[in-house]
Chain A
């Protein structure tokens, strides 16, 4: 079945550091890929998405490129801020397979001033 694997956290960075959170997936068909963010005490917010191979999703300085050859959708940001501290979830969905969204386990990011 479909699955998503993320790098284990927590990740602790200093402000203005470069961020990468790895995400790889296993899926039948051609899934859409998403990054959601969960700030402390809040729900899940869509951060960015990509619906086909080589698409790049971007938002708020975050980027991720849909790499079909490596089945990856790594999240990057060039310069993190304290306000980026949150849990980041990689997720996929596919018209060809049920279960709706399949989420990764989440990666907790802490950014220190």
Chain B
């Protein structure tokens, strides 16, 4: 069964450093998403991406964040200058159609630890 994959599974970085989290969505899916889950808290929407541009973003997704689909398979989340409060599990998701009413399939997550 096709699945969303994410790398790395765990990333440790120093405050102020840039990190790039990588995702490979399911191949025939057109909509891509990033969510985050701070330890012990709820899963929060960050951004959605379709047709090579951001379609929606939350208040969390400020100028420190950016997303890109650099090729036909990868979808990346970049945090330009990490802060301690960016420590969280980051989930990538994809859906075949508009995910606001369609099932989104989630990757296993990347645990980001900012020291």
Residues in chain A within 8 A of chain B (CB atoms): 31-32, 34, 36, 42-46, 49, 51, 89, 91, 93-95, 97-106
Q: Given A98-B56, A101-B35, check contact A93 B108 (CB 8 Å).
A: no
Tally B residues with Cβ within 8 Å of A. Answer: 25
A-B contacts at CB below 8 angstroms, number: 65
**Chain B, 54-83, contact with A by CB distance < 8 Å: what is the 0/1 string?**
001010000000000000000000000000
User: B10-56: which have CB < 8 Å to A?
Assistant: 33, 35, 41-45, 48, 56
Which residue in A34, A43, A95, A103 is a CB contact (below 8 Å) of B98? A95
Residues of chain B within 8 A of A46, CB atoms compared = 103, 105-106
**Contact across chains for A105 and B108 when beta carbons are under 8 A apart:** no
Most buried by B among A49, A95, A97: A95
**Contact across chains for A89 and B43 when beta carbons are under 8 A apart:** yes
